[in-house]
Structure 1
Amino acid sequence: MSQAFAGRRVLIVEDESLVAMLLETILEDMGCVAVGPAATVDEGMKMAADAEPIDAALLDVNVAGKQVFPIAEALKTRGVPFVFSTGYGESGLPDDWRGHPTLQKPFTEAAVRDALIKAMGLADV
């Protein structure tokens, strides 16, 4: 467990329950507090707009057939860093969103950790 992640609240937006559970476990192993998971864009929007603090987010690009970009926009407005996850990697993102940290599915615990470090601007921990 890294002290840099201790207690950090990370929103999970993921419609595949097994992937969501894996992310929760990875985040908890890193010392984070998992927020959610949200399984729909509407649910994710509510969590992203909530007054609860969020330190970062992991966003599945395609959630129950809808694109996650409205949530990404809401988080960007709040200044919350986020990581996209997709089976297509960064090439599957629209041009406007390229350059954001992106996890390609299937991912490893190390890949999640590295993507969050990049998104959150943490020194390598």
Structure 2
Amino acid sequence: MQYRNILGGRRVLILEDDYLIVAELVESLQSMGADVIGPCATLEQARRHLQSGRPIDVAILDVNLSGRPVFPFADELRSRGIPYVFATAYDATMIPSAHRDIERFGKPYDVGRIARALLEPTAALA
């Protein structure tokens, strides 16, 4: 399947603290037409982007950023109506019940599958 420009300018916030993973993810998403915000390695960086007023269409969240869980930030996204997905090495049992309805992609993940999920914001937003 061809993924070129399928994201059509969607603004995608990325929270990931693994440089090698995030570099490939950013490159892949940009090649699919995404306007990548970040990437953010800390919750503080992500909150600054969220509070900047620049629109965010969707977000990709690692579950653990340098030992800090991302779930409070996910709650902020949800309260603002911003869809998100999890991209993590953690299995589903590590996701709190309040977030188990959110699509989770295990690492290593298929960026094309993530892109398709980002195109269906109602599926990523509960």
If the length of structure 2 is used for normalisation, what is the TM-score?
0.86
Q: SS of the residue aligned with 2:14?
A: strand
* 1:80 equivalent in structure 2: 82
* 2:98 equivalent in structure 1: 96
The CA distance in 2 between the partners of 1:24 and 1:102, in whole Å, is 18
Q: Percent identity?
A: 37
State the aligned residue count.
Answer: 120
The CA distance in 2 between the partners of 1:106 and 1:90, in whole Å, is 15
Asked if 1:39 is matched to 2:17, the reply is no
What's the offset of the Cα at 1:91?
2.8
* 1:109 equivalent in structure 2: 111
Any stretches of 5+ residues in structure 2 without a counterpart? none
Any stretches of 5+ residues in structure 1 without a counterpart? none
- CA deviation map 1:1-29 (0-9, x unaligned): 245x2111000000001111111012112
In structure 2, give the amino acid aligned to 1:39. A
If the length of structure 1 is used for normalisation, what is the TM-score?
0.87
Deviates more, 1:21-30 or 1:109-118: 109-118
* 2:55 equivalent in structure 1: 53
Asked if 1:16 is matched to 2:18, the reply is yes
Q: What is the root-mean-square deviation in Å for CA atoms of aligned residues?
A: 1.6
Q: SS of the residue aligned with 2:17?
A: coil
* Greater fraction helix: 1
